[in-house]
Amino acid sequence: MTSNSRNSIPLLLVLALGSCGQPDSAVTSADEADLVLRNGKVLTIDADFSIHDTVVVNAGRIVATGDSSLAERYRSDNVVDLQGKVLMPGFIDSHTHIRGRPQRYIELSEVTSIAEIQELIGAKIEEIGEGEWITGYGWSEDELGEGRRPLRPDLDAIAPNNPVILTRAGGHSAVVNSLALDLADVTLATPQPDGGVIERGQDGQLNGIIRERQEIVGRLVPDSTYSELIASLEVNLNALLAKGITSITDASKRPSEYAMWEELYGTAELPLPRSALQFQWFDPVAINALKEQVGDGDDFLKIGPIKVFADGGFTGPAAYTLEPYVNQGEYRGYLNMPEAELVAHLNEIHDAGWQMGIHAIGDAAIVLVVNTLADALERNPRDDHRHFLNHFSMRPPELTMELMAEHDIHITQQPNFTYTLEGRYAENLDGWRLQHNNPLRSPMDHGITVAISSDILPIGPMVGIYAAVTRRGMSGTVYGPDEAISMEEALRAYTATGAFLNFEEEVKGSLETGKFADMIVLSEDILSIDPDRIMEVTVEQTYVNGKLVYSAE
């Protein structure tokens, strides 16, 4: 990987940008430094949550944090007056999904109506022509003015001659139009797929919604070109810096995709965050071969834990629950594979020596996964395995959390789901289960290590922090206030704990001597702001390796 990729930065960001590569040397003189940031409120996120005034950076690493006397002790040509603003470690999103997008794709995460979706489809048809596939991602019925999901007739009305598949936010269901169903030969006679649902409307006809198994249609979408994917991947990764995200774990990739990311990180013109890629265990030979080839990667790109899907999600709904969903008979969701196969799968990966990040949303899925991991660890103990559960959306029985603490099974959770998926929880859960969705306080009190991440619902960290501290949904309703955590705990979970999950706590996650100078400046004091205004806090500057890679100005 060349250093040139991190030296070529567009002027639209800042003129002072430079290399984001790994430092080659320590401080050459006790009195010299590349960067001094002073007169701020520096949240180090160290073990004591120390707050200082000044940070000194040299060769991409933190040299010192302390009081204002550091600004006199170290000489630098680059001294930044923070004017009292909060400086803290960059956010580490330990469970997200970033990818390149083809020309046929439309972004739906900001749409507010079905009519707007139709307008975007119509514009895309004008751009690429009739007959071409149209794909998209990010719609949520909870965000749409019509108060319902887009359905097959809505897509047919605007795109009778283009096959369309639009994936819901969260990725656990999609809506398709009639032409897409016809091309995939999906009819009323098509058997329900294992672990998924082809929905019918009240009229008995296919309504276009496919839950969990939308690939029965999506498999027909033509492959994207390499050039369009790598170009948009660069843009999408760069956009994370404006949100203060300086490191990510991308939670579902194939080994073959690593080469594109490696090329991008070797040639990128835009600054990029640090990335770890999780692979699913579909091809262990390819995964192990890639590991032998790249080893631990480098400071910007590495292989992360193995990803396993235990069950579905609540946007289906298909999360696997101990008790039935509200008003759905005995329906309790699905496992992603037969139980015996899942148990064997988890044991195989554990025995192969890999760390796992396991998608487990429903309480029944959590119980099964934790019991399996506990048995595997007792049968084949491994020091510091750091297996963790992605999501942990439903609070499981006390015994399960006790097992997790006993066997050091961790969590990366998305409290932002409490906000953005409020409607899905309220529709499918009730009582204690609804109140304790996405629990934070209870697992922490059991001694479980909990990180916070986004799963791109939405990707901005402030929504997750807001929900973690206030437990409010989009409506303003508070769910299970006993599961709220403090602002200090939320910030640590979104920084230092994310680094810990990837065995990187010695190099990032806090502003301590010797660690990467990955830092952000906030518009307001997040420690003292009215909790109801947390989502108004913005990122004014982002630094990676001590280099300014984003400025709001």
Nearest one of 156, 267, 283, 171 to 208, comparing CA atoms: 156
Please give the average per-residue pLDDT across 345-361, as a whole number: 98
Q: Where are the alpha helices (DSSP H) in 456-528?
A: 461-470, 487-493, 496-501
Mean pLDDT along residues 62-71? 96
What does the pLDDT read at residue 3? Answer: 36
| Mean pLDDT of the region 216-229 | 94
Mind listing the pLDDT tens digit for each residue in 379-425? 999 999 999 999 999 999 999 999 999 999 999 999 999 999 999 99
pLDDT beyond 90 at 446: yes
Task: Give every strand in the sheet of 539-544, ordered side by side.
Answer: 51-52, 41-43, 86-89, 519-522, 539-544, 547-551
Q: How far apart are CA 353 and CA 269, in angstroms?
A: 36
pLDDT average, residue stretch 428-446: 97
Crossing angle for the helix pair 226-239 and 258-267, to the nearest 10 degrees: 70
**How much is the pLDDT for 19?**
35
Instruction: Give the DSSP letter string of 242-297.
Output: GGTEEEEEEEEE-GGGHHHHHHHHHH-SS---EEEEEEETT-HHHHHHHHHHHTT-
Can you tell me which residue has the tokens 């631990």?
296
Q: What average pLDDT does the segment 335-359 reach?
A: 97
pLDDT higher than threshold 60 for residue 28: no
**How far does CA 137 lie from the centroid of its chain?**
15
Mean pLDDT, rounded, for 184-191: 97
pLDDT at 79 over 70: yes
Q: What percent of the chain stands above pLDDT 90?
A: 90
Q: State the pLDDT confidence band at 315, using cuts at 50, 70 and 90.
A: confident
Please check the confidence at residue 306 and state whether its pLDDT lies above 60.
yes
- Kindly write down the DSSP assignment for every residue of 425-465, as one continuous string: HHHH--HHHHHTSS--HHHHHTT--EEE--TTTT--HHHHH
Per-residue confidence (pLDDT) for residue 1, from 0 to 100: 39
pLDDT at 169: 87
Beta strand segments in 4-76, E: 35-38, 41-43, 51-52, 54-58, 61-66
Q: How far apart are CA 46 and CA 68, in angstroms?
A: 19
**Residue 30: pLDDT band by 50, 70, 90 thresholds?**
low
* Tokens 């009305």, located at residue: 157
Question: Which among 468, 464, 472, 463 has a CA at the least distance from the CA of 484?
Answer: 468
Yes or no: say if 140 and 263 are a contact pair by the CB < 8 Å rule: no
Among 189, 98, 106, 147, which residue's Cα sits nearest to residue 454?
Answer: 98
In degrees, rounded to 5, the angle at the alpha carbon of residue 59 between the alpha carbons of residues 244 and 260 is 55
Does position 290 have pLDDT exceeding 90, yes or no? Answer: yes
pLDDT exceeds 70 at position 91:
yes
Q: How large is the average pLDDT for residues 319-332? A: 96
**Angle between helix 363-379 and helix 398-406 axes, rounded to 10 deg:** 30
For residue 197 the two structure tokens come to 């649902």
141: tokens are 């019925």
Q: Which candidate, 77, 2, 45, 20, places its Cα nearest to that of 492?
A: 45
CA end-to-end span of the chain: 31
Domains identified in the chain and CATH numbers: 105-218 (3.10.310.70), 310-485 (3.20.20.140)
Question: What burial class does residue 294 get, using C-beta atoms within 10 Å of its C-beta: 0-12 exposed, 13-18 middle, 19+ buried?
Answer: middle
Phi, psi for residue 417 in degrees, rounded to 5: -60, -35
Mean pLDDT of all residues belonging to the chain: 93
Residue 515 has pLDDT above 80, yes or no: yes
Residue 22 predicted with pLDDT over 60:
no
Residue pair 290/28 in contact (Cβ under 8 Å)? The answer is no
Reported confidence tier of residue 23, pLDDT bands at 50, 70, 90: very low
pLDDT value, residue 81: 97
Q: What is the pTM of this model?
A: 0.86
The token pair at 188 is 């009323």
Q: Is residue 252 within 8 Å of 100, Cβ to Cβ?
A: no
Report how far residue 49's alpha carbon sits from residue 526's, in angstroms, rounded to the nearest whole number.
14
On the question of pLDDT at 27 being above 80, the answer is no
Please give, one letter per residue, the 3-state secondary structure of 380-429: CCCCCCCCEEEECCCCCCHHHHHHHHHCCCEEEECCHHHHHCHHHHHHHC
Residue type for 446, please? H
